[in-house]
C-alpha cells in the first residue's frame, strides 16, 4: 500500500511526502507525491503515527455506564475499542483499578476480572486498536498487594501505577473538598463521614507503605514499568523513585513535576487538563508544566479525543513544534513502556498511522491504520 500527498509528521519535521507499507510495517518514505498506480491520495492531510494512550478510564465507564447498571462486558469493550480507534489511538492501555472501590470493592473486582478476561479473549480477533492492561493499585486498601498477584503474570499487563486516594492525599489533599464532592452521594450523616475518614486514615497508615514495597518488588521481578499517581510533594516523588518508579503520572503540583524531572522520572499528564485550560479538580495546569519543559507525555485520562486535540493545541497556542507535540502522544509514551516497534514514522516500525484533518481548529482522525490494516 502507498499513502501519498500527505504532510508526514516525523520525529523532527513535517514534510510533504509518501510512505509505503508492507507486511504491517513502514517499508519506504520519500518526499513529494507518488503517481504509482493504486496510491492513496491523502489530499495534503497530516499523517501521524498512531497515538499511544497509557491511561484511559473509558473501558469501565462503558462497562458500568451508570450507578447500578452493568453493561455486557463484550459489548462494552467493543464500544470502547471503537471510540479509541476513531480518536486515532492505535495502542491502548486500559487503566483498571484494584482496591479503589470502597464499599463496592467486591463488585468492582468482579468487573475487573470480567474486563481482563474479555481483553484476553478479544485481543487477537476482534479489536481495532491493540489493548494492554494498566493496573491501577490503591495502596491504602488492606489486601491490594495480595490480590494483585492474581493478575501479575498476565501477558497483557504492561504497566502498574501506585495510587493513594485517601482524603488528605494527592488530588484529594483538601479534605473539605472531598467531603463536598463525595458526601452528597454517600447518603451519610456528617458523623458517619467522620467515622469513614477515621477508618480510611487508620487503614492507610497501616497498609500503604507495605503495599507499595510489596508491589514494587513484584514489578522489579517482572520487569514491568511502574508509575506513581497524583504525586504532590518533592518528598513523595523521591520516595517513589527509590522504589523503582519511572513515571510520575498526573503530578498535582509544580513542585512534584519539577522533582520528578530532577529524579529522572517521566512526567505523564492528561489531555483533558490541557484542552480545558486547567484541572477540573484544582490541580496544576498541564500548560504550566509544559511551559517549563517538564512534560514528557500525554494520556487521554477520561476523554479519548483529548490526546489529538491537546497535541495540536500545544503547537498552536504554546508554539511547540508540531513534531515535538505529536511525540508527546506517540513516541514518548512508547518509550515509557518499552514499546520500541511503534510511535514514529520510520522505516521498519509498525504501520500504525492516523490521517488527520484540521477543521475549525479541531483536529479529526479521518482514517486510521493499525499494522497496515485500515481500521477507521
Whole-number pLDDT of residue 217: 97
- Topology classification of domain 49-343: TIM Barrel (3.20.20)
Radius of gyration of the chain (CA): 21
Whole-number pLDDT of residue 374: 97
Domain boundaries, the chain: 49-343
Whole-number pLDDT of residue 280: 78
Instruction: Kindly report each contact of residues 274-279 with a partner whose C-beta sits within 8 Å and lies 24 or more positions away, as own/partner.
Output: 274/298, 274/306, 274/310, 274/313, 274/314, 275/303, 275/306, 275/309, 275/310, 275/313, 279/252
CA distance 159 to 55: 10
214: Cβ contacts below 8 Å, ≥ 6 apart? 145
CA distance 36 to 16: 16
Q: Enter the pTM of the model.
A: 0.92
Q: Which residue has the higher pLDDT, 130 or 317?
A: 130
Instruction: Kindly report each contact of residues 317-322 with a partner whose C-beta sits within 8 Å and lies 24 or more positions away, as own/partner.
Output: 317/287, 318/287, 318/290, 318/291, 320/290, 322/9, 322/14
Strands, E assignment, 287-336: 297-299
Residue 125 pLDDT class (50, 70, 90 cuts)? confident
Only one residue has cell 501505577, namely 161
CA distance 279 to 186: 24
Amino acid at each position: 500500500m502507498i499513502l501519498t500527498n500527505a504532510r508526514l509528521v516525523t520525529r523532527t519535521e513535517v514534510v510533504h511526502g509518501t510512505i509505503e507499507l508492507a507486511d504491517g510495517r513502514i517499508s519506504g518514505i520519500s518526499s513529494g507525491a507518488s503517481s504509482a498506480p493504486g496510491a492513496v491520495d491523502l489530499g495534503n492531510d497530516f499523517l501521524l503515527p498512531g497515538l499511544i494512550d497509557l491511561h484511559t478510564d473509558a473501558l469501565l465507564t462503558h462497562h458500568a455506564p451508570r450507578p447500578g447498571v452493568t453493561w455486557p462486558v463484550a459489548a462494552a469493550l467493543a464500544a470502547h475499542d471503537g471510540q479509541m480507534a476513531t480518536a486515532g489511538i492505535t495502542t491502548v492501555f486500559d487503566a483498571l483499578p484494584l482496591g479503589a472501590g470502597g464499599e463496592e470493592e467486591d463488585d468492582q473486582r468482579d468487573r475487573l476480572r470480567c474486563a481482563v478476561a474479555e481483553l484476553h479473549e478479544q485481543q487477537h480477533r476482534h479489536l481495532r486498536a491493540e489493548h494492554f492492561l494498566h493496573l491501577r493499585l490503591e495502596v491504602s486498601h488492606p489486601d491490594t498487594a495480595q490480590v494483585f498477584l492474581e493478575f501479575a503474570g498476565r501477558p497483557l499487563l504492561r504497566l502498574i501505577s501506585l495510587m493513594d486516594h485517601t482524603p488528605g492525599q494527592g488530588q484529594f489533599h483538601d479534605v473539605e473538598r472531598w467531603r463536598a464532592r463525595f458526601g452528597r452521594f454517600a447518603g451519610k450523616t456528617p458523623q458517619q463521614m467522620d467515622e469513614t475518614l477515621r477508618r480510611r486514615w487508620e487503614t492507610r497508615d497501616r497498609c500503604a507503605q507495605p503495599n507499595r514495597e510489596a508491589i514494587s518488588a513484584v514489578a522489579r521481578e517482572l520487569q514491568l514499568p511502574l508509575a506513581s499517581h497524583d504525586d504532590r510533594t518533592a518528598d513523595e516523588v523521591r520516595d517513589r523513585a527509590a522504589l523503582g518508579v519511572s513515571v510520575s503520572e498526573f503530578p498535582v503540583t509544580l513542585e512534584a513535576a519539577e522533582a520528578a524531572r530532577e529524579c529522572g522520572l517521566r512526567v505523564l499528564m492528561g489531555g483533558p487538563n490541557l484542552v480545558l485550560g486547567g484541572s477540573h479538580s484544582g490541580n496544576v495546569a498541564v500548560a504550566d508544566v509544559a511551559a517549563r519543559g517538564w512534560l514528557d507525555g500525554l494520556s487521554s485520562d477520561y476523554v479519548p479525543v483529548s490526546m489529538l486535540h491537546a497535541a495540536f493545541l500545544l503547537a498552536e497556542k504554546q508554539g511547540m513544534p508540531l513534531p515535538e507535540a505529536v511525540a508527546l502522544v506517540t513516541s514518548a509514551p512508547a518509550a515509557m513502556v518499552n514499546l520500541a516497534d511503534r510511535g514514529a514514522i520510520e522505516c521498519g516500525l509498525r504501520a500504525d498511522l492516523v490521517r488527520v484533518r484540521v477543521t475549525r481548529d479541531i483536529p479529526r482522525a479521518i482514517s486510521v491504520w493499525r499494522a497496515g490494516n485500515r481500521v477507521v
